[in-house]
Amino acid sequence: MDFLAHAADVLWNPWLLGLFLAAGLVYSAGSGFFQLFEFPTWWRSTAGALFQRRKRSKGGLSPLQALATALASTMGTGSIAGVATALTLGGPGAVFWMWISALLGMMTSCGEKLLAVKYQRSGPDGSLRGGPMYYLRDGLRSPLLAGCFCLACIPATLAGGNLVQSSSIAAGLEAAFHLPRLPVGLVTALLAGLVMVGGLGRIAAVSSALVPAMALLYLGSGGAVLVANWEKIPDAVGTILSCALSPGAVAGGGVGWTVSTALRYGVSRGVFTNEAGLGTSAMAHGAAKADCPTQQGLWGIFEVFLSTILVCTVTALAILVSGVWTPADPAAPTGAPLTAAAFASVLGKPGEGVVAVSLLLFAFSSILGWSYYGQQCLEFLSGGQLLPAYRVIFLLCTLLGAVWEADLIWQLTDLCNALMALPNLTALLFLAPQALRDLARWRAEEKPLSKRRKWKNPIDSRGKCAYHKDRKCALAQNKGATHYDL
pLDDT tens profile 145-171: 999 999 999 998 998 888 888 887 887
Whether residue 375 is found in the same domain as residue 479: no
103-157 pLDDT per residue, tens: 999 999 999 999 999 999 987 777 889 999 999 999 999 999 999 999 999 998 9
Whether residue 482 is found in the same domain as residue 430: no
Whether residue 363 is found in the same domain as residue 385: yes
In whole numbers, what is the pLDDT of the chain averaged over residues?
82
User: Cβ–Cβ contacts within 10 Å for residue 124, how many?
Assistant: 9
Whether residue 157 is found in the same domain as residue 294: yes
Residue 438 pLDDT > 60: yes
Whether residue 459 is found in the same domain as residue 442: no
Handedness of CA 409, 90, 79, 288 (dihedral sign): negative
Whether residue 362 is found in the same domain as residue 478: no
Whether residue 262 is found in the same domain as residue 348: yes
Q: What is the pLDDT of residue 317?
A: 93
Residue 451 pLDDT > 60: no
Q: Are 384 and 110 contacting, i.e. CB atoms less than 8 angstroms apart?
A: no
Give the rounded distance of the alpha carbon of 340 from its chain centre.
23
Structural domain for 305, as ranges: 2-446
Q: What is the pLDDT of residue 427?
A: 95
Question: 265: Cβ–Cβ under 8 A, 6 or more apart, which residues?
Answer: 85, 86, 89, 90, 94, 97
For residue 181, give the CATH number of its domain. 1.20.1740.10
Q: What is the pLDDT of residue 221?
A: 92
Enter the DSSP assignment of 162: I
Domain count, the chain: 2
Q: What is the pTM of this model?
A: 0.84
Whether residue 213 is found in the same domain as residue 113: yes
Q: What is the pLDDT of residue 289?
A: 85
Whether residue 42 is found in the same domain as residue 151: yes
Whether residue 224 is found in the same domain as residue 87: yes
| Burial category of 459 from C-beta neighbours within 10 Å (exposed 0-12, middle 13-18, buried 19 and up) | buried
Q: How far apart are CA 82 and CA 270, in angstroms?
A: 8
Mean pLDDT of 319-324: 89
Whether residue 345 is found in the same domain as residue 463: no
Whether residue 352 is found in the same domain as residue 475: no
259-276 pLDDT per residue, tens: 777 777 788 777 777 888
